[in-house]
Every structure is written in C-alpha cells, then in structure tokens.
Structure 1
Amino acid sequence: MPEIAEVARIVHYLRQHLVGKTIKIAKAVEDANVFGKVGTTGPEVAAALTGKKVLAAGSQGKYFWLVLEQPPHPVMHFGMTGWIHIKGDRTAYTNYYKKMKPEEMDAWPPKYWKFQLTTEDPAVEVAFTDPRRFGRVRLVDCAGDSIRQHSPLVENGPDPVVDTDVFTEEYLRGKVHSRHVPIKALILDQTVISGIGNWVGDEVLYHAKLHPEQYCDDFSDEEIKRLYNSIRHVCQFAVDKLGDSDQFPEDWLFHHRWSKGQKGAVGHLPSGEKLAFLTVGGRTSCYVPQVQKKTGRVVPGVKEELMESDQEEPKPKKAAKSKAVKVEDGQPQNTRKRKAEEDEPPAKKSRAAPKKPSTSKVKAVKAEGTVAPDSKAESGRRRSGRLQGKAV
C-alpha cells in the first residue's frame, strides 16, 4: 500500500505538471467501489473537474487532494494498488510499489484507469488507476483552504512531516500511555498518526529498537523518545527522497523485508542479524530479534517465523542399506563369507546345561548293553517279571 512517502511523490508530480493549469476534458468510468463507497459517482467527479483551474495540491499522510478554483474538490486515497500516471513522465519508475514493465510505462491510457483528465495547452494528461479497486476518490464541498477540517481528513491524526507543530514528543507520549495495544498497531492507526503503513512502521520500530508486539503502555519515556525520533527521521527522509527506494540507506530494513517466501531469499541483514516475522490481527511485521528486544508485555501466543533460508536445515535421513550383493574376486560377498566360515575350525562348545538325549541316542546306548529304559511301559514289564519270580 502506498504510504506517506509515495503520496508525497505523487503530490510533487501534480504540483510540477498540473497546478496552475485548467482542465479541458475529464472523464471517469463508473465504479461503485472507487467512487460509490464515498458517496459520489464517476460522472460527478468528471463534471467537478471539467473546466476548473487547479490552484494547489496537498497531502496528509495517505490522503492527497487537488484544490480547484471552486468547490467541490477531489480528495483521493490510493488504497492498496492505486496510482497517478502522467503521460510522458514516469511517475512510477523508481517507486517500489509500481515497478512497471517497459511496455506498460508508455501505454496510454494506462490499464485499470478510473478517471482521466487533459489540460488546455500545453496539454497535460493525467490518469488515476487502481487494479484492485480499494482506492477512493471523493468530492469535498468546502473552501479550498479548509479541506483538512472536513471528513475524512479531520478524523485522521497529524502528519509527522507536515504537522510538526502538532506531532510532538508530548503528543506521542500521551497516545502511547493512553492505549493498551501492540506498538505496531498504535502507529498504524491513522487516527493517531497519518501516513504510517506496514513498511514504514517496520522501519520505524527497527530504528527505535522496539519489539513490534510489545504493549505500548509498557514503554518507558526513554523508549518513547526513541520512537518519536525514529518516526520523524524515517518519514522525513523517505518523503525527501520522494519514496525512491534506490536512495534509501543500504542498512534500512526496507531493502530486505520484502523477500519472505521467495525462493533464494536472504533472511538476514548485511550485518548478520536474522529477520523474523510475526502476524497479529492479519498484519505481518518484519523485525530483527537481536536488535528489537522485549522489555515489557507482548501479545500472547504469537508465533515467530524466521526467513526460510535462515531456519535450521533438517537433519539428513540415513541412507537405506542397499540390498545389492557385492561381488569380489568373482564371488558374491555373502558366498565368500560363508565359505570362510566353513574353512574355520569349529568353535569349542560352551558349558551349557545338558540336553535330554534324543530317542536315537537312547537306542544306541541300549544296543551297547547299557540299561537305559526309554519308556514307562518297559519299566512296568520288568517290575512285573520280578514280582512273578518271587511268587514261584
């Protein structure tokens, strides 16, 4: 989702190409998601733009707008995949979210456009696109200098770059101490701070060395100070570079957080610290456990997931014993073993308990004249003979 830096980039281009010009032609497709969910229609937006001179462009966090010479004024939000394209200028060329194929850069009108406008000479053509249709385009009927005093901007928190008189350390401390939510959830709340999304939030917490799922009301004043300074630094730097990630410092988490689940991904920073991921409330946080230590309570039951490349490799399974018979010296190995055993002298018998002689052995003993009765019947016959002899 485009965040504070990407929105600042688009406002820069609108000021450069559109401000001061009159819109000659405007047209819009009917889209119940992009226009209808905020109370307007595509034709109404087109009518509001046609024939109007653009006096200014502004932003607050993730929202941006055009100030026309008379109301209503268009106030826009990119959602997840929205973008502004200007014909002849590659607004998305260095933007991370909008890396485009060469053939897409020069196509006009761009695919998935929701509204287009063309200015009077010198002609400038502008289009708002949104493939997934989570973006919003609405009309705000008020004086141009009071747009921020109306919905939806009035419900949003201060912009950490634009509203430095409101977004102070004291302001942030008050918000942190008054809530009991994970710190990542707090700084993503647009009613608290405007413009921080998932990647900016992860970058901010990494620089501040704070664990993303620690409850915000457990942080000390020193930790809150680090958080405030980190928000100001990351947001200001990213805005100054117009969201051009190629100009972000190499040690920023930004360059390494996107490859989760990708084949061959490197799961650690250049300095060696491993990356890990947590998912709470459907939002994934990338963080560095060796840097972002827990100093208070955290959300229970959250599972940490390391990047695949840095997980412990499973132990290799033992190779199954081969049933193949080896052949040595022209004979199978097991045959050679049996022959060797046959050639060896017999081993001495151990002193085991004597076994009962078999019938054949008994018969052999009888044949040699040794008394060795082999049945009860035989004993009975001899006993009977002796008794008969005494009687005679």
Structure 2
Amino acid sequence: MPEIAEVARVVYYLRQNLIGKTIKKVLAPDDNNIFGKVGTSGPAFEKALTGKKVVDVGSQGKYFWMVFSAPPHTVLHLGMTGWVEIRGKQTGYSRHVERTKGNGEQWPPKFWKFHFETDDPKVEVAYIDSRRFGRVRLVDCPGEDIRKHSPLVENGPDPVVDKDIFTENFLRQKMRSRHVPVKALLLDQATISGIGNWVGDEVLYQAKLHPEQYCDDFDDADIGALYKAIRYVCETAVEKLGDSDLFPEDWLFKHRWGKGKKDSPTTLPNGDKIIHITVGGRTSCVVPSVQKKRGRTTIDNAKGEPTPSEEEKETESRFFKGKNKNKKETNSDAEAEGRSSKKAKTAKSKPVKKEEEEEEDPKLAIKASRKSNKPKKEEKPVEPSPELGRRRSSRLSRAAA
C-alpha cells in the first residue's frame, strides 16, 4: 500500500505539472467502489473537474487532494494498488515500475479509473487502480478549509507536514492513553497519518523497540527514541520521494522483502536474523537481536492464559460453552469473594462411592425397606447383588407353594 513517501511522490509530480493549468476534458466511468463508496459518481466527478483551474495540491498522510478555482475539490486515496500516471513522465518509484512493466506504453494505461487532459501545453493525467480499493471524493468547501472536512479532519497529524502538532509530548500523550501494541498504534491513521506497514517496521527497527510491546509500557527514553525515529524515517523517505534505491543502506527496508521467496536472505548483512510475526493483524518484520522485549507484550498475555484440558476441548466449542461456562462463572464468583480463581479451577469434586449413591437415592432406599421390613432405611446398608438373589428365590418359592 502506498504510504506517506509514495503519496508525497504523487503530490510532487502533480504540483510540477498541473498547478495553474485548466482541465479541459475528463473521462470517469462510474465505479461503485472508487466513487460510489464515498458518495459520488463518475459523471459527477467529470462535471466537477471540467473547466476548473488547478490552484493547489496537498497531502496529509495517505490522502492527497487537488484544490480547484471553485468547489467542489477532490480528495483521493490510493488504496492498495492505486497510482497516478502522467503521460510521458515516470511518476512511479522503482518497485512500482517493476510491478507495472509495459503499462506506460499504452494510454490511457491499464486499470484506469479516470483520466483528464489540460489546456495547452497539454498534460494528460490518469488514476489507475487494479484492485479498486482506492477512493475518489468530492468535497464541497472553500479550498483553504479542506483539511477541516471529512475525511481529513478524522485523521491524525502528518509527521512531516504538521511538525508543530506532531511533537514528542503529543506522541507521549497518545501512547499513555492507549493499551495496544505499539505497532498497532503507529498504524492507526486517527493517531498519526501516513505510517503504514513498511514505515512502521522501519521506525521500530531504528528505535530498537519490539512491535508487540504495549504502547503504555514504554518509559520516556523509549518514547523519545520512537519520536526521533518517526521523524527521521518519514522525513528521509519523503525527501527521497519514496524511491527505495535512494534509501540508506542500513535500513531494514533493504532486506525485509524475502518472506516466502526462494533463496532470499533471512538475515541482515551483519548476520542478525530477520523474522516475520503478526501484530494487530499485519505481518511485521523484526530483528530480535536489536528489538528486544523490555515490557508487557501480546505474546506474554497469550502465554499467561490457562490452557484448557483435553476433556474441556472435547466437550466445549466456541459456539456452545456447555459445562465450562459454569466453571467460568464459578471462577468469577470465587474472585468476587476474594478466593483465588486458580484454586477454584483446580478444585474438583471427589467421585461418590456407589454405596453412598444408593443410600441417597430414595428409590433404592424404598426397595431396601420392603425387603428388610424395617422402617428406617438407613439402618441397614443396601447390598445389591445378594439381595437381588434372595428376592428372586423368595418369589420362586411363593409361586411353587
């Protein structure tokens, strides 16, 4: 997915080629995903752009926008595979060009969702998206207020654009107010805009922090290191316009793409092992020798949970709780009364002897009283096998008489 650096690259090329130009012709076939899921349509987009002059282009994290000479303006998101092509220009970074070999030879390019051209000297622009997770909106507001409207207003500050807002104290307050793995916090666009999977992994590697450690479990020194790493990685990546060929050689980015590939390196050049784990539903690249766990993590919590016995696994499903539901309720009751829940779990009732069960069973007691002719059933214990034998012989003797 294009992240803060790749979006900065798109914005750079749009500013270089579009500002001050008037859009003369627009083609935007309707698409229920690209346009429809954000409340607009292809025809509405065509109408909004035709005849408008582009006066500004900006970005906030993974979003970017074009401000026109009159509203509505457009706010765009590239989704997983979206990109902006300009005819005759190589706007793509190196990895994007590798994935789309031959796409630049045709116009409009493959998977285009809209394209337009400007007045002379003509510039042709196309938005492409093979998987259609991108979004194209129209926002009806004054151009200078575009960040005060949805979807930009719901997103956190951009670490590069909003340096006055994204401070170390801002990050500290966000981390202390949440209880999630630090990698999940970095990916939350409502907290910080623009950090995606590879940027998040690079930041944590540079800060020497483990992605699974909870964000409220870091001290001030760790938070300071994380803040500096965010600024360093984001500013460097944006400065290089997302071109990984220009990234520093000591970055994890240069060695992280080997998962599942034959003969791909699984170590850094210095021999440190690279592993891949899942944090917050996303694959994370980690160097354990550098990113050591120094506090509570999601893995620690998972190990601390009691493991069900084999009998519980057989009698309980995640849809039908059965007897184990009562066990859990018993544990919670024990905790409420100050008793140890562990003790409640391990305590098991002893099996009742057969003779004791028969004494407590009223039916068995009545049979015993009939045979013994004694009013008190408990005075004589029941002995099933011998008594059944005597009962049978007495009946036979009466029948014979």
TM-score of the superposition, structure 2-length normalised?
Answer: 0.74
Q: Does 1:8 align with 2:28?
A: no
Question: Cα gap change, 1:151/1:101 in structure 2, threshold over 3 Å: closer, same or farther?
Answer: closer
Deviation at 1:301, TM superposition (A): 6.8
2-structure distance, mates of 1:302, 1:9: 41
**Secondary structure at the residue paired with 2:268?**
coil
Deviation at 1:9, TM superposition (A): 0.2
2-structure distance, mates of 1:300, 1:42: 47
2-structure distance, mates of 1:98, 1:192: 31
Q: Does 1:65 align with 2:78?
A: no
Deviation at 1:97, TM superposition (A): 3.7
**Does the CA-based 8 Å contact 2:184-2:279 persist in structure 1?**
no
- Alignment partner, residue 231 of structure 2: 232
1-structure distance, mates of 2:221, 2:96: 34
The AA in structure 2 aligned to 1:138 is R
| 1:146-161 equivalences in 2 (<5 Å) | 146-161=145-160
- Alignment partner, residue 77 of structure 2: 77
Question: Cα gap change, 1:32/1:301 in structure 2, threshold over 3 Å: closer, same or farther?
Answer: farther
**Secondary structure at the residue paired with 2:299?**
coil
- Alignment partner, residue 377 of structure 1: none
- Alignment partner, residue 119 of structure 1: 118
2-structure distance, mates of 1:298, 1:34: 38
**Secondary structure at the residue paired with 2:210?**
coil
1-structure distance, mates of 2:228, 2:80: 27
2-structure distance, mates of 1:45, 1:216: 42
Deviation at 1:281, TM superposition (A): 3.4
**Does the CA-based 8 Å contact 1:205-1:211 persist in structure 2?**
yes
**Does the CA-based 8 Å contact 2:181-2:280 persist in structure 1?**
no
The AA in structure 1 aligned to 2:19 is V
CA deviations over 1:315-339 (Å, ceiling 9, x no partner) = xxxxxxxxxxxxxxxxxxxxxxxxx
CA deviations over 1:351-373 (Å, ceiling 9, x no partner) = xxxxxxxxxxxxxxxxxxxxxxx
**Secondary structure at the residue paired with 1:129?**
strand
The AA in structure 2 aligned to 1:130 is D
Question: Cα gap change, 1:155/1:95 in structure 2, threshold over 3 Å: closer, same or farther?
Answer: farther
**Secondary structure at the residue paired with 1:295?**
coil
- Alignment partner, residue 86 of structure 1: 86
| 1:100-179 equivalences in 2 (<5 Å) | 100-179=99-178
- Alignment partner, residue 397 of structure 2: none
2-structure distance, mates of 1:197, 1:70: 33
**Does the CA-based 8 Å contact 2:33-2:135 persist in structure 1?**
yes
**Does the CA-based 8 Å contact 1:187-1:201 persist in structure 2?**
yes
2-structure distance, mates of 1:66, 1:209: 38
2-structure distance, mates of 1:127, 1:48: 16
1-structure distance, mates of 2:189, 2:22: 33
- Alignment partner, residue 336 of structure 1: none
Which has the larger share of helix? 2
Deviation at 1:96, TM superposition (A): 2.5
**Secondary structure at the residue paired with 1:259?**
coil
Deviation at 1:102, TM superposition (A): 4.5
CA deviations over 1:250-286 (Å, ceiling 9, x no partner) = 1111111112000111001111111011113320000
Greater shift, 104-113 or 239-248, is seen at 104-113
**Does the CA-based 8 Å contact 2:20-2:55 persist in structure 1?**
yes
Runs of 4+ in structure 1 displaced over 3 angstroms? none
After superposition, the CA RMSD in angstroms is 1.2
- Alignment partner, residue 39 of structure 2: 39
Deviation at 1:302, TM superposition (A): 9.2
**Secondary structure at the residue paired with 1:99?**
helix
**Does the CA-based 8 Å contact 2:212-2:299 persist in structure 1?**
no
- Alignment partner, residue 20 of structure 2: 20
The AA in structure 1 aligned to 2:203 is V
TM-score of the superposition, structure 1-length normalised?
Answer: 0.76
Q: Does 1:298 align with 2:333?
A: no
- Alignment partner, residue 251 of structure 1: 250
Task: Give the unaligned 5+ runs of structure 1.
Answer: 304-392
The AA in structure 2 aligned to 1:89 is K
**Does the CA-based 8 Å contact 1:6-1:95 persist in structure 2?**
no
- How many residues were matched structurally? 302
CA deviations over 1:137-185 (Å, ceiling 9, x no partner) = 0000000011000000000000000000000000000000000000000
Task: Give the unaligned 5+ runs of structure 2.
Answer: 303-401
Deviation at 1:30, TM superposition (A): 1.0
**Does the CA-based 8 Å contact 2:183-2:279 persist in structure 1?**
no
**Secondary structure at the residue paired with 2:161?**
coil
**Secondary structure at the residue paired with 2:298?**
coil
1-structure distance, mates of 2:263, 2:17: 41
2-structure distance, mates of 1:208, 1:300: 20
CA deviations over 1:17-47 (Å, ceiling 9, x no partner) = 1111000000101110110000000111111
The AA in structure 2 aligned to 1:80 is M
2-structure distance, mates of 1:214, 1:81: 30
**Does the CA-based 8 Å contact 1:81-1:132 persist in structure 2?**
yes
